[in-house]
Structure 1
Amino acid sequence: MHFLGGFFIICLACCNLCSCFGNQQDDQKNSRVSTLCGNGCFNTSVACKDTLTGGCVGWKNLGSRKNPGRSCNDIHMHRVSAESGRYWISPDCDVCYPYEVYCDMTTAGGGWTLVVKVKGNDPFMNRLNSKQWRDGRLIGDPTSLSDENAMGMAYTSLAFREVMIRSLVNTAQHLAWRHPQTYDSIRSIVKSCTRVANGVKISGDITKLNFKGNVAYLKPCTELVYGFMGGDHHYALTSVAGCSVGYKHGHVGAVIGAFLDPPSGDHTKNGQNVKCISDFGVGGGYYNMAKADYAYAINAHYWDNGNDYTHSWGSHAVFIR
């Protein structure tokens, strides 16, 4: 038994060759167990009684409501056998305000937290929707792969460095990239109306996504960059997630996606990027949004053919890690 901050922490189980409060090296990955249990014996069974939740702090139940992880990646790192599905996380502190999320534990290394789902061939989540993209208003069910528009709390509260756009029906249909720095949340980027164009692809491809159009036009340009609030040209015809009409969104102007950058000057870069997809993403649209398929939230521009053959996509989710 150990007295800490007015609470008694009771050691429930210890591994061999060490005592509950012996000299075992602290496990730096488990800050909560380290804080509550000092230099206790930490393993994958149970470490100590957590007086804050009444549950056992350890890896076995990490991701439960009483023992939320920091993120899906946190759970994945410490529970390598954890399967994809619903888990509880609390990014800001251990037990403050946990909420449920969907975790993809297998695709591109696993540990991905679902933040948004966007239906294909549907206008609701396009770039004109500021209530979701800018304000972060919760809709739908972000804890499953059900085919619906959805936005969860992780969109506003979870920090990330890597992004994945993934089909709801096939994990192989994905595109993932990494940024050189960590961002506070996707919403923090959108609210700042700042283009982020420094992502580098790490897995999958646009050609691997759930595309329902003419595959002859499913050809990405060779110099795409990955990020947020992008665009392949100087068009500024509509607002983007509440950002001013003067924002240069290019042809698609998606909140999240892949595009040529910068969005002005010679977009073809000496003729290298023609007859290919120069702008793609979710939370986008096409040109002035005046036609039905121009307003679809998942869209792409094929240079020389507009979006005639590249506007039809299946539903996808956005994950972060």
Structure 2
Amino acid sequence: MEERVFGRSGQQASVVGLGTWQLGADWGDVDDKEALAVLEAAAETGVTFFDTADVYGDGRSEQTIAAFLRGRPDLQLLVATKMGRRVDQIPENYVLDNFRAWNDRSRRNLGVDRLDLVQLHCPPTPVYSTDEVFDALETLVAEERIAAYGVSVETCAEALTAIARPNVASVQIILNPFRMKPLAEVLPAAREAGVGIIARVPLASGLLSGKYTKDTVFAENDHRTFNRHGAAFDQGETFSGVDFETGVEAAGEFSALAPEGFTPTQLALRWIIQQPGVTSVIPGARSPEQARANAAAAALPELSAETLTAIRELYDRRIKDQVESRW
């Protein structure tokens, strides 16, 4: 599979990575055996980039990746984790002592001495403008606790603030055919600065797969039930912030745009891969079959100008007014 480089850190990631939130929690139940099978299937198809976080299953996702890697010492993978969401979301918690403690826990969970890439996990907005925060991250690099650092953001404004920091290696942001605002300023700024872009929530929490109807019911412990209106965390993380009924209708139109040989999911992933400035897209997978199908999007033909135009028209007509003013 094609690999792309985080310009500032020199690290490489497969253009389709694997997001592992669903292997920890908040997407219904995934047992350990199935989780390991998903990781194996992704690696077999050429995925070399796994994204996790210390809060996914309170460490379960990190521990599952560690268990997988112990059995596959031959693999050369870039594993990114995140920190900061296990405490109250106030800027005062983003200090060096806490960073060291969180870092120690993730290193134990992942079974490594040094973490490849650590991202601040959608912290309060003032954190991105606080020099002491980035001084603390530089200290972690100097202490060889981490090789590089980045941020995960909710808004385009946060992304642009982070990109202006000289040593931020990556920005993780929601980008998909139902969330196009980053195309205007964030991706061009990242390209110019050499900052990697990790595209998350690429399927709008599954909407873009075209599998849901207005009557679809999700498990009680699935964020698509309990966070639909932003009750637990930022609403934009669930269905990209799109109203579910609107999203289902728009997803039906989106599915009809898939060229021959593409599933709707692969259409969404291929659209993201083609955006200039994207380093890696990180769909989740709950089964080996999903992991393989996601990875296959990297080898599909580029989308035509006609298809790209039709996707943009759908976004402008059905989605744009719901999301662009908020994120």
TM-score range, shorter chain: under 0.3
Q: Could you tell me the TM-score, scaled by structure 1's length?
A: 0.26
**Larger RCO: 1 or 2 (CA < 8 Å, sep 6+):** 2
Rg (Cα) greater in structure:
1
Q: Could you tell me the TM-score, scaled by structure 2's length?
A: 0.25
> Which structure shows the higher helix fraction?
2
> Which structure shows the higher strand fraction?
1
